[in-house]
Amino acid sequence: MIDKIKEQISEVNAFTADSLDAIETFRIKYLGKKGILNDFFAEFKNVPNEQKKEFGQTINELKQAATLKVETLKEVLENSQSTEQVYGDLTRPGNPIVLGSRHPISIVKNQIIDIFSRIGFNVSEGPEIEDDWHNFTALNLPEYHPARDMQDTFFVQTNPDILLRTHTSSVQVRYMENNKPPIRTISPGRVYRNEAISARSHCFFHQVEGLYIDKDVSFADLKQTLQYFTTELFGKSKIRLRPSYFPFTEPSAEVDVYWGLETEADYRITKGTGWLEIGGCGMVDPNVLTNCGIDPNKYSGFAFGVGIDRIAMLLHQITDIRLMSENDVRFLEQFKSAL
């Protein structure tokens, strides 16, 4: 009798099936109510006592072998089926992968970072929600300066001390507070001003501001740096600095690039003058250095700020600044860049 069971075990082990039906038939044959296993169990009472132990063990072996066989066969079958469902016909041509593209603001920002990193500037970042000290007071903006007017600044709820930064000069204050000269850093980021939204201006836009502080930094260094920048970014090396006023720089200037008057677009962009304003700059006011813990008798420095959106519009012939924040894929997918 035990030999019979052993025969069944080898039969079970040799069994294969390629359909769920075949596996089910197999299961009923061995493990079903009227199956082989139960037949053997029924014989148990007829087995002489001294053989009962071996007999029992062998039946259990058969039971385990049959159960395992059913499970593994089912698993194999299910796996092969699900693979087919997931991959389908593997000889079919693949679906084209749609490549994303960078936002024009990111492209121009990365270009500017790249240009300044080549002359030793690092990148610094700070919070968009700022306090009064970093956005205004440390930057030598007297309490009643018009730039603090509710018209220009978004305050957070009713707390006049917390606001959305109006420029990334706030990042430079933080950088000066936490680092010792020599400092060479640029601060790219989003800024907010309470302005009417139109094709030319938005209530949020992007800036890159630069800061250089060391011993004996002069206005000539500032001009040279800006000239390097415009040559690298626009391919235009002729610039002019027009006297201006910023509370945090003294002297201060507006930076114009000579764009030229060759095409009709040049006339439109420069309003017929050939000159294009790209930002502000100046020598850091000694008060600002003192406010940030830097000795103005030992160190001097320059700062500048340019608007990324305007530059991106110029370089990519974008006529409406609102396109920058509408997330229209038809607009966004036109820009491709390695940077």
155/20 Cα distance (integer angstroms): 69
What separation, in Å, do the N-terminal and C-terminal C-alpha atoms of the chain show?
80
Q: From residue 75, give the alpha-carbon distance in Å to each of 79, 207, 281.
A: 6, 59, 71
By the rule CB under 6 A, 301 interacts with ligand PHE: no
CB of 254 to ligand PHE, least distance (A): 9
The rounded Cα 191 to chain-centroid distance in angstroms is 18
Tell me if 30 contacts ligand PHE by CB under 6 A: no
The three-state DSSP-derived secondary structure of 258-277 is ECCCCCHHHHHHCCCCCEEE
Given candidates 257, 281, 308, 313, which one binds ligand PHE under the rule CB under 6 A? 281
CA 70 vs. chain centroid, Å, equals 50
Closer of 104 and 282 to ligand PHE (Cβ): 282
Residues between 157 and 186 with contacts to ligand PHE, criterion CB under 6 A: 167, 169
Among 30, 136, 246, 259, contact with ligand PHE (rule: CB under 6 A): 246
Residue 7 annotated as binding site? no
Interface with ligand PHE by CB under 6 A: which range of 8-16, 83-91, 265-273, 276-284? Answer: 276-284
The secondary element (H helix, E strand) that includes residue 2 is helix 2-14
Under the binding rule (CB under 6 A), the answer on residue 304 touching ligand PHE is yes
Q: How many residues does the chain have?
A: 339
| Of positions 282, 291, 294, 311, contacts ligand PHE by CB under 6 A | 282
**280 in contact with ligand PHE (CB under 6 A):** yes
**CA–CA separation, 241 and 88 (whole Å):** 66
Binding ligand PHE (rule: CB under 6 A), the pick from 209, 256, 285, 309 is 209
Binding site residues for Mg(2+), as ranges?
Answer: 250
Binding residues for ligand PHE (CB under 6 A): 167, 169, 209, 246, 249, 252, 280-282, 303-305
